[in-house]
Amino acid sequence: MSPHRNHRMARTLRCAACVLLCSLAPVSHAQDAPAARQALRVCQDPNNLPFSNDKGEGYEDKIAQLFASELKLPLKYFFFPQRMAFIRNTLRFKVPGEDYPCDLVMSVPKGFDQVAATRSYYRSTYVLVFPKQGKLASVTTVDQFLALPKEQLKALRIGVYDRSPAGDWLAKHDLVDQGVPYRTLNADPEQYAGEIIDKELAAQKIDAAIVWGPIAGYYAKKQEARPLTLLVLPSEKNVKFDYEIVMGVRYGEAAWKEQIDQLIEKNQARIDGILASYGVPRIDARGVPIP
């Protein structure tokens, strides 16, 4: 093949490619435009109070109901136990030829890289929980707790979930032997995080517990017969207790993320009211409790 013919063929191919790209451009633009939403589809755990359940009784459910009302859309859930691989089996789950089953995860910690994170809508922290009456009746601050006589501290049984910062805190304060570990991940679908308060602490199997704030606040409110003290645990060097909580959407859905951001900003006061009604302990950026 002559150089001249090579040049002519190359020019022909470039022209053909240009025509093809131009003809596809409108189609590509149409595919990028998301279809109008027919429902607010939320990825949710069916048995995870105070966050959510299949009866819509959690505070995440109430916030989702608020958002659905604002969007004027029906609310639909895709339920899956929030154990391992929750995001992969909900937000990122897709059968070939079918749509995603849900579009929004109601709460993940800021910095969680499996989702595109919205703006934060509250910050909470772990708390130390114990009965108001009993061995620790005189304790009203974390410093007072740590200043108790060594023999009194060594006699305590402190419930903690494994893989939580509670274990690091116990180690830092020479209380490892006082820790009573509970499994974070449990294959039993009937198990729930609040059992450490609802069952173990209530039955006096442990003297105190270190629990994520929303769980502690909700289940402490239920212990009317035996009121509990909740002490906010501030983060310390090498022990992070407080986290900002955000919502999550799929990567690449910038317009949807922006819409959720706007809903959070517009409804922050109502969201705060919902959180307060569930006893969620909230703190500001300095770690100071919000009344």
**Tens digits of residue pLDDT in 87-124:** 999 999 999 999 999 999 999 999 999 999 999 999 99
DSSP assignment of 76-110? EEEE--SSTTTTTTTTT---TTS--S--EEEEEET
Answer whether 59's CB lies under 8 Å from 278's CB.
yes
pLDDT at 62 over 90: yes
Across the range 266-276, mean pLDDT stands at 98
Q: What is the mean pLDDT of residues 64-78?
A: 98
Q: Strand runs (DSSP E) across 118-163, as ranges?
A: 122-124, 126-131, 158-161
Residues 4-17 have a mean pLDDT of: 36
CA distance 263 to 287: 25
pLDDT for 7:
37
Report the alpha-carbon distance of residue 62 to residue 51 in Å, rounded. Answer: 9
Examine the pLDDT at 3 and tell me if it is beyond 60: no
- In this prediction, residues 61-84 reach a mean pLDDT of 95
Q: Provide the pLDDT for residue 15.
A: 37
Backbone angles phi, psi at 129, to 5 degrees: -120, 135
pLDDT of residue 28: 34
pLDDT higher than threshold 90 for residue 30: no
Own/partner long-range contacts of 232-238 (Cβ < 8 Å, ≥24 apart):
232/125, 232/127, 232/142, 232/281, 232/283, 232/287, 232/289, 233/125, 233/126, 233/127, 233/128, 233/142, 233/169, 234/125, 234/142, 234/287, 235/125, 235/287, 236/169, 236/172, 238/168, 238/172
pLDDT average, residue stretch 261-282: 98
| pLDDT value of residue 8 | 37
Task: Give the pLDDT of residue 29.
Answer: 35
Enumerate helices (H) and strands (E) in the chain, giving the number of each: 9, 15
Q: In order of start, what are the domains of the chain with their CATH numbers?
A: 40-123+243-290 (3.40.190.10), 126-232 (3.40.190.10)
Where residue 34 falls among pLDDT bands split at 50, 70, 90? Answer: low
**Type of residue numbered 144:** Q
Q: Would you say residue 186 has pLDDT above 80?
A: no
φ, ψ dihedrals at 50, nearest 5°: -85, 5
Average pLDDT estimate for 184-202: 86
DSSP helix/strand/coil, 239: strand
- Which comes out higher in pLDDT, residue 19 or 75? 75
What is the tens place of the pLDDT at every residue in 214-265? Answer: 999 999 999 988 899 999 999 999 999 999 999 999 999 999 999 999 999 9
Average pLDDT over residues 150-164: 95
| pTM metric for this prediction | 0.85
State pLDDT tens for residues 195-215: 999 999 999 999 999 999 999
pLDDT of residue 83: 77
pLDDT at 9 over 80: no
pLDDT of residue 26: 38
21 compared with 220, residue with greater pLDDT = 220
